[in-house]
Amino acid sequence: MTKTSPSVLAVFLLLSLCFMQRIGAVPVGPVMLEEEQQGENEVRQPHADKTIDEIIVDAYGGLEAEEAVEEFRMMVEGVETEGMDTLLTPEQAAILHNAAEGGMSKRRLATFITPWAGRVVPYDISGLPAEHHDMMMEAFREWEMDTCVRFVSAQPQHQHRIFFSDGNGCSSFLGMTRWSEQPVTLGSACHTKAVYLHELGHALGLVHEHRLPQRDRYITVDFGNVNPRFVDQFYKYSASEIPDAEQVTYNLRSIMHYGKHAFSKDRRLQTIYAKDKSQEDLMGTSEELTTSDIEVINLLYNCNGWK
């Protein structure tokens, strides 16, 4: 039998290894232990470098994805959006049709946002992938911790409820609607605790921070850098619509605040400038509730003295 020389065998093995790497049979580079792989995954968490508005916009394929945006806006007849992730009932949308930069129509909050009856929010979590249930429960607990609002599993006797669906984009209605069931949609790009807290904030009745009536004392909006299709997302609410706004300090780190490039023409142009420059890069990056987020809910639900 002819013997294969060591040098030829070495070359054969090397070529075989290269081929297997090409087809993915052998990993390129050093093999990681399971613990090392987990550490690598932790460093590269999805969305770690994105603000909450960027996550939401990307969930719809970007501001240029007109078909996706229009599909979102037409989910229910008469439904419109506020900030791309908030569904508005026809009644709420009618109020916004008369919006102007100086403030909206002189109608009180009670006509625009309805708190949940009895401070209880029934929910149906069955439409959310099971691997995300624990994180949603954590978000429930965080909202409950310092407020009088309670999230409970929906039962037949509950006339209203939110139900979670794993659909397109991230969205929620604003406050309790007249419908018995209202969706909170959390697509594959939306599964972060910050997005969960943000969308639950909308479901409870919170609007985006950058649209509060007192915002001009804390931020400057550069309308020249805003995508023309989304200029309306920077219109302010009037003090008569959000009568309790001045009772809570405007917070650049609110879970409801968008980032400095929100609705930008090209994502490089800045649309929101903070008067406090030390906080500018923090807008839209919060992953937990702020004191102001909690205070607004306690005002909206009349939690003072509640036990």
Residue pLDDT, tens place only, 15-32: 333 333 333 433 333 333
User: pLDDT, tens digit, for every residue of 174-195?
Assistant: 999 999 999 999 999 999 999 9
Catalytic annotation present for 199:
yes
Question: Which amino acid would we find at residue 242?
Answer: I
Q: Closest Cα partner for 85 from 238, 187, 223, 236? A: 187
Q: Is 208 known to sit in a ligand binding site?
A: yes
Q: Closest Cα partner for 221 from 252, 277, 260? A: 260
Q: Long-range contacts: 63-72, Cβ < 8 Å, 24+?
A: 63/227, 63/229, 63/230, 63/263, 68/168, 68/169, 71/168, 72/168, 72/169, 72/171
Alpha helices, DSSP H, located in 160-290: 193-204
| CATH number for the domain formed by residue range(s) 52-101+112-301 | 3.40.390.10
- At residue 37 the predicted structure's pLDDT band, cuts being 50, 70 and 90, is very low
Q: Which of 199, 209, 241, 295 is catalytic?
A: 199
From residue 179, alpha-carbon distances to 161, 164, 175, 176 in Å are: 9, 15, 11, 8
**pLDDT attached to residue 96:** 65
Q: Is 47 known to sit in a ligand binding site?
A: no
Q: Is 198 known to sit in a ligand binding site?
A: yes
**Average pLDDT of span 49-59:** 91
CA–CA separation, 197 and 202 (whole Å): 9
- At residue 93 the predicted structure's pLDDT band, cuts being 50, 70 and 90, is confident
Question: Which amino acid would we find at residue 165?
Answer: S
- Max Cα separation, the chain? 98
